[in-house]
Amino acid sequence: MMTKTRLLVAVVLSALTACGGDENEGSADDAPVELDQRSYMTGTYVGLVTLTHGSGVGSVVTELQDALVITNDKTST
C-alpha cells in the first residue's frame, strides 16, 4: 500500500511541475521597448569653475565660465 501511495504522489507532483509555465515566456513580443532618452538631456548647460593657483598669500584665483551644448544627434548610439 505504501509503494502505491508514493507512486501516486510522485505522479501528481510530476504533473503539477509540468503545469503553470507561460507559453509566451521568452518571446520577442515580451522584450522591453527601448526609448530614445537623449531628448531629455538636450540643451545648454552653463558651468562656473573656480581655479586656485599657488597657496597662501601668493595664490591666484581664476573663474572660468563655459557652456556645454548637448544636441539630439540621431546618428549616434
What pLDDT digit, counting tens, does each position of 20-75 carry?
Answer: 655 555 555 666 777 777 778 888 999 988 888 887 778 888 898 888 888 877 77
Q: What grid cell was written down for 40?
A: 531629455
What is the reported pLDDT for 24? 54
Provide the pairing of β-strand 60-70 with 43-53: antiparallel
Q: What is the model's pTM?
A: 0.37
* 60 SS3 class: strand
What is the reported pLDDT for 25? 57
Spatial CA neighbour of 43 closest among 70, 23, 15, 16: 70
- Give CA–CA dist 45/67, Å, rounded: 5
What is the reported pLDDT for 18? 65
